[in-house]
Amino acid sequence: MSIFRHDTTMAQVLDGGARISRHRHAEHQVVYPSSGVAEVRAAAGTWIAPADRAIWIPAGCWHEHHFYGPTQFHCVGFPFDLAPDWTVPSVLTALPLVRELIITCSTAEDLPDTELVALRQALLDQLRRSPEQPLRLPAARDERLRKACALVESDLTEVWTLGALGRQVGAGERTLTRLFRTELAMTYPQWRTQLRLHHAVQMLAEQVPVTVVAHRCGWSSASAFIEVYRRTLGHTPGAYRMR
């Protein structure tokens, strides 16, 4: 592992399966994998970023990192007062300029402080213009909903109806429907699609073939998976791997 670190700004080369244990920062931080996939887990949920996405982590947020596939991992810190209104984690589009600014800020050991401050400000300005991406799995609070989510995640190839889940966890179908909407801000099918995409991104980083990913994540066919992936992330799984 090679590391350059200064407070919350660093660059690391990590093996697939690596993790950084639970911690928090006094500063805000943006994290970005220029290769591989980075996942951030916090009490409110889980966020995942392939190499064309970045994750904003607000100051004071307890979190941990998990990595899938060989990962070049970059972090850049920002003083709290530069973005006091950014209080929740989010996945942002990492356009080419954003990617280059993150990489430069996280690896430039010899630049004068004045230049680094200017680069970080330019990066922050670009992040404010970056669209938020739907690559988040919110955490359930209700015990019945947590159990239902765990059942679905334990085997993505099994198609659970809300009624069947309810019978397993001791909740009616209408109750689970309400809990998905109120706690996760999604319908059950929307959440299940997000869960499948989350696992698909992990598997693709580990070089699992697209057809195998589609099957393991519960899609009826590779073409159905590719269409959902393209509609959500803006490109096909094959195009991502070519990047």
- Model pLDDT, residue 227: 95
- Tens of pLDDT, residue by residue over 83-100, are 888 888 999 999 999 999
CA distance 28 to 58: 5
Q: Which of 35, 40, 36 is nearest to 57 (CA)?
A: 40
Q: Where are the domains of the chain?
A: 3-136, 139-242
Give the SS3 label for residue 71. Answer: strand
Q: Is the pLDDT of residue 30 over 90?
A: yes
- 139-242: CATH architecture: Orthogonal Bundle (1.10)
How large is the average pLDDT for residues 5-23? 83
Does domain 3-136 bear CATH number 3.40.630.40? no
CA distance 53 to 130: 10
- Tens of pLDDT, residue by residue over 167-219, are 999 999 999 999 999 999 999 999 999 999 999 999 999 999 999 999 999 99
- Model pLDDT, residue 152: 97
Using the CB atoms, write b or e for 207-225: b if 16+ within 10 Å. ebebeebbbbbbbeebeeb
Q: Is the pLDDT of residue 82 over 60?
A: yes
Query: pTM for this structure?
Result: 0.91
